[in-house]
Amino acid sequence: MSTSSPTPTLRQEETSAPSRSHLARKGLPILFATLLSRPLGFVREAVQAALFGASRLTDAFVVAYNLPEMIQTLFFTGILSNFFVPVITRYREQKEELSEVFSIALNGALLLALVLVSVCYVAAPWLITLAAPGLVGTDYQLTVFLFRFMLPALVLDCLLAVMKGTLNSLDHYAMPEYSGVFFNLVMIASALWLSGTYGITSLAIGVVVGTLMQLVVQIPALARKGIRYRLTFAFGHPALREMGGLAFGAFIATAVVPLNAFVSRALASTLPAGSISALAYAFRVFLLPVSLFAVPVYTVLLTDLSAAQHRGTQETFKQQVTAGLSLLFTVSLPATAILVALANPITRLLFERGRFTAADVILTSQALMAYGVGTLAYGTSQVMVRLFNATKDTRTPAWVGVGSLAVNVGGGWLLMQIWGHWGIALVTSVVSYLNTAVLYAIFRYRHGPLDEALLARRFITHLLLAVSLGMCLFVLSRSLTVAPGSLMTLARLFHLAVIMMVGGGLYLGLGYLFKVEEIRTLAQKVRRLLRANQ
């Protein structure tokens, strides 16, 4: 890279930089909540790993837990994020009407959830066979039991999705995200206190009680925003009719991600024991940078894009999308470098204790590297989906998603033959990049390009910086990868901290040398802060 990573022109900076700052500022509550919730999530996973390892017990729990989660995403959370927020945003200045729409949606969600749970309870044996054909005998019976036990959480999650969508439409992001803290605390407590008596079922108990806590803590936030619940079933409301017109496309688009995960678990169930669990552990780690950086961007962006589209300001609409993608390049590419370069030490540090063996470390770190490659793609594909959703076009992402599902099934099966479980994870990352490319090509054809020159410069700049960071971290961490015993010692933690500081210093130094705007801005703020304290 030459000094040449050209600095954007004044006109470009005036249009995109303020928008990036705006997105980052509005996303801070999500970031702070994630910084609290995700470490607790890792504690939860570490407790689970220490108590049960990567075994058929945890395989059974993962399948039983993720199946209702997939059903809930299919029918509620994903669909609501695709059309509920864009529609309900127009009512946010009319609190009485907003309360009416909220109540109708909540009551409708409850009725549909009860029907779904009843069907799932009866169909549990067939659903588990479909979800994990490799589980047989007592493993299969345990999975059916755990699945049925956790079905009440499906009802609670459906109600929670309506509450979160309503709060997000009012630009309130904190409590919907902080609710994860309560869920993780309950899960940890349940595993530690009840595992001796109830075994793996202690995790299922934690899921149900934790989900209830997530729902309860939303009620005060809704009340403070002036939202009042009413017992109404006026499903003819204009907002509900509009949502109904968007529902089919939203359903298809939403189905892609959970169905891809469903296929991955089904394929992994035919591999050696622990493969499903390794993919699940790795995906949880992968979700940390995604939750820290990508989720705040595309969550806030959906509300802003919906408002811009409602006002008919097309130029602002495009600027906001450009800003969101630029921000993702800035934060996701270094996160990719860290996940790929430090996959083994991260896995050892988080999970290697109790029944989680060295073999489990290898399985999980391989999957983490494969998922890590797609960190940027996960965020950009979600931005593209929300770009279409904000224009109330849910069908285009839906059909593109169907195509990607076919690629995921075929590619997952093929690479599984070559690389086993981590071939499945790698295909998931590749499919996310394909989704982004295809959706942007369609948007560009219909509405014209974004600021592609600016996006290309920022992408190349941060890609080269991320490659430098990754190479540095990989070389410096080799001794930790092969070191015997636990990494949870003061000396090895200090070693890892030094590696991160050296890598971070290299990244920031190169960024400053080649005039990367975000790093130069950071340096200026630090200098001002130091002068103010002198």
pLDDT, one tens digit per residue, over 451-487 is 889 899 889 999 999 999 999 999 999 988 888 888 8
Domain of 111, in residue numbers: 53-247
Tell me the mean pLDDT in the region 53-76. Answer: 78
pLDDT of residue 6: 38
- 345: closest CA among 497, 453, 229? 497
Report how far residue 417's alpha carbon sits from residue 293's, in angstroms, rounded to the nearest whole number: 33
User: 136 in a domain, yes or no?
Assistant: yes
CB atoms within 10 A of CB 95: 15
pLDDT of residue 248: 57
Tell me the mean pLDDT in the region 380-403. Answer: 79
Degrees to nearest 5, angle at CA 169 with 165 and 170 = 120
Report how far residue 489's alpha carbon sits from residue 487's, in angstroms, rounded to the nearest whole number: 6
DSSP annotation of 9 reads P
User: 150 in a domain, yes or no?
Assistant: yes
> If 0-12 CB within 10 Å is exposed, 13-18 middle and 19+ buried, where does residue 497 land?
exposed
Work out the widest C-alpha separation in the chain, in whole angstroms. Answer: 70
User: 230 in a domain, yes or no?
Assistant: yes
User: 199 in a domain, yes or no?
Assistant: yes
User: 363 in a domain, yes or no?
Assistant: no
CA atoms within 13 A on the CB side of 496: 21
Q: What percent of the chain has pLDDT over 90?
A: 22
> If 0-12 CB within 10 Å is exposed, 13-18 middle and 19+ buried, where does residue 220 land?
exposed
User: 474 in a domain, yes or no?
Assistant: no
Report how far residue 184's alpha carbon sits from residue 210's, in angstroms, rounded to the nearest whole number: 7
9 confidence band (pLDDT: 50, 70, 90): very low
Report how far residue 53's alpha carbon sits from residue 65's, in angstroms, rounded to the nearest whole number: 17
Q: The tokens of 41 are what?
A: 């999530």
All residues at 6 or more sequence positions from 278 whose CB lies less than 8 Å from its CB, including other chains: 54, 360, 363, 364, 366, 367, 421
When the pLDDT of each residue in the chain is averaged and rounded to a whole number, the result is 80
Tell me the mean pLDDT in the region 284-296. Answer: 76
The answer to whether 43 and 188 have CB atoms below 8 angstroms apart is: yes
Report how far residue 510's alpha carbon sits from residue 508's, in angstroms, rounded to the nearest whole number: 6
The answer to whether 340 and 470 have CB atoms below 8 angstroms apart is: yes
User: 123 in a domain, yes or no?
Assistant: yes
> If 0-12 CB within 10 Å is exposed, 13-18 middle and 19+ buried, where does residue 32 land?
middle
- 88: closest CA among 72, 70, 112, 106? 106
pLDDT tens across 505-525, in order? Answer: 998 888 888 877 777 776 666
All residues at 6 or more sequence positions from 234 whose CB lies less than 8 Å from its CB, including other chains: 100, 104, 240
Q: The tokens of 514 are what?
A: 């080649």
- 437: closest CA among 365, 518, 380, 489? 380
pLDDT of residue 433: 92
pLDDT of residue 324: 79
pLDDT of residue 79: 57
Number of domains in the chain: 1
Report how far residue 257's alpha carbon sits from residue 211's, in angstroms, rounded to the nearest whole number: 21
Q: The tokens of 490 are what?
A: 């003061």
Rg (CA), the chain: 23
Q: Does 291 or 447 have the greater pLDDT score?
A: 447
The answer to whether 267 and 134 have CB atoms below 8 angstroms apart is: no
All residues at 6 or more sequence positions from 323 whose CB lies less than 8 Å from its CB, including other chains: 16, 17, 19, 20, 22, 23
Q: Does 60 or 14 have the greater pLDDT score?
A: 60
- 422: closest CA among 371, 380, 462, 376? 371
Tell whether the model's pLDDT for residue 122 goes beyond 70. Answer: yes
Phi/psi of residue 449, nearest 5 degrees: -75, 160
CA atoms within 13 A on the CB side of 14: 3
Length of the chain: 534
The answer to whether 330 and 457 have CB atoms below 8 angstroms apart is: no
pLDDT of residue 244: 60
pLDDT tens across 150-198, in order? Answer: 999 989 988 888 888 788 777 676 677 778 888 999 999 999 999 888 9
pLDDT of residue 84: 67
The answer to whether 62 and 238 have CB atoms below 8 angstroms apart is: no
User: 332 in a domain, yes or no?
Assistant: no
The answer to whether 288 and 33 have CB atoms below 8 angstroms apart is: no
